[in-house]
Amino acid sequence: MNFHEGDTVIHWTYGIGKVIRLEERVLSGRKDLYYAVQIGDMTVWVPADDKLEKRLRPPTSKAGFKKLIDVLSGPGEPLPDDRHERKTLLTELLKNGRAESLCRVIRNLSTYRHVRSLNDNDQALLRRTEESLIGEWGFALSVTPAEAELQLHRLLTAAGD
């Protein structure tokens, strides 16, 4: 997967950004190629290695994004009550960097909070995941972040949030 300067990308942790350059950098005495990705007011350096597909991806298409709405409006999957197990499960789910995984984490945590209150880690993960999805949603469907957030919360509410 090759990205070019100016490409809009989705970083698996930080969400939507733009490739500002490709640069060779020396780290621990080893020279490697990195993508410099501008995400908000921060620059993230992403190695152009065999794990790139899990770290960066192109934004989901408009048609692909509309299919994700089914995931958000569907029933939540049960989450473990043990906070360590829950954190491990959700973190593992997000490792593939896909938008569907973001939707599943949001939906599952939103459903879980009806049964138990979310701890600080759950709340932070939900907030970070929602921010990432909202950025991609706005880009994919050409809506403002506020509109995307409103639509997201309407879907979750309709699904039983």
Domain extents in the chain: 8-57, 62-158
In contact, 30 and 112? CB cutoff 8 Å: no
Q: Which two tokens stand for residue 103?
A: 């939707």
Average pLDDT score over the chain: 92
The pLDDT tens digits of the residues spanning 87-109 come to 999 999 998 889 999 999 999 99
Q: Which two tokens stand for residue 85?
A: 């197990």
Of 112, 113, 111, 89, nearest to 101 by C-alpha is: 89
Of 43, 45, 20, nearest to 34 by C-alpha is: 45
pLDDT interval class at 66 (50, 70, 90): confident
Measured CA to CA, the distance from residue 125 to residue 53 in angstroms comes to 22
pLDDT at residue 74 tops 90: no
pLDDT at 84: 96
Query: What would the CATH number be for the domain defined by 8-57?
Result: 2.40.10
Of 99, 79, 98, nearest to 88 by C-alpha is: 79
3-state secondary structure of 106: helix
Amino acid at 17: G
pLDDT at residue 125 tops 90: yes
- pTM, to two decimals: 0.85
pLDDT interval class at 12 (50, 70, 90): confident
Measured CA to CA, the distance from residue 43 to residue 61 in angstroms comes to 24
For residue 98, report the phi and psi dihedrals to the nearest 5 degrees.
Answer: -80, 150
Measured CA to CA, the distance from residue 20 to residue 82 in angstroms comes to 41
Topology of domain 62-158 in CATH is Methane Monooxygenase Hydroxylase; Chain G, domain 1 (1.20.58)
Mean pLDDT of 18-45: 93
pLDDT at 77: 92
